[in-house]
Amino acid sequence: MTGRRRLALHTHGVEVVRRRIAEEAARIMANEGVGDYHSAKRKAAQRLGQEDSRHLPSNREIEKALGNYIQLFHAQDLPETLRMQLGVALETMRVLAGFDPRLAGALLQGIATTFSEVQIHIFPDEPEQAALLLQEHGIPYEETSRRLRFGGARQEIAPVFRFLAGDTPVEIIVLPLPAAREAPLSPVDARPMKRANLKEVERLLKNMAHPHPASQTSG
Digit-coded pLDDT (tens) for 59-75? 999 999 999 999 999 88
Residue 18 has pLDDT above 90, yes or no: yes
Residue 11 has pLDDT above 60, yes or no: no
Which residue from 63, 112, 117 is spatially nearest to 83, judged by alpha carbons? 112
- Residues 84, 77 contacting (CB under 8 angstroms): no
- pTM, two decimal places: 0.84
Domains of the chain, residue spans? 3-73, 78-209
List strands edge to edge, sheet with 155-165: 102-104, 118-122, 168-174, 155-165, 142-149
Buried b (16+ CB within 10 A) or exposed e, 10-33: eeeeeeebbebbbbbbbbbbbeee
3-class secondary structure, 7: helix
DSSP string, 63-120: HHHHHHHHHHHSTTTHHHHHHHHHHHHHHHHHHTGGG--EEESHHHHT---TT--EEE
CB neighbour list of residue 145: distance below 8 Å, 6 or more residues apart: 157, 158, 159, 160
CATH fourth-level superfamily of 78-209? Beta Polymerase, domain 2 (3.30.460.10)
pLDDT at position 51, please?
Answer: 74
Digit-coded pLDDT (tens) for 71-125? 999 888 888 999 999 999 999 999 999 999 999 998 998 888 888 899 999 999 9
Digit-coded pLDDT (tens) for 112-145? 888 889 999 999 999 999 999 999 999 999 999 9
Question: What is the pairing mode between strands 168-174 and 155-165?
Answer: antiparallel
3-class secondary structure, 145: strand
C-alpha to C-alpha distance for 196 and 11, rounded to whole angstroms: 40
183-190 average pLDDT score = 93
Burial of 163 (0-12, 13-18, 19+ CB in 10 A): middle
pLDDT at position 214, please?
Answer: 46
Digit-coded pLDDT (tens) for 200-218? 999 999 988 765 544 446 6
C-alpha to C-alpha distance for 211 and 121, rounded to whole angstroms: 26
The DSSP H or E segment spanning 36 is none
Mean pLDDT of the chain: 89
Which residue from 79, 97, 80, 87 is spatially nearest to 201, judged by alpha carbons? 87
3-class secondary structure, 136: helix
User: Residue 8 — pLDDT band, cuts 50, 70, 90?
Assistant: very low
Question: What are the residues facing 98 on neighbouring strands?
Answer: none
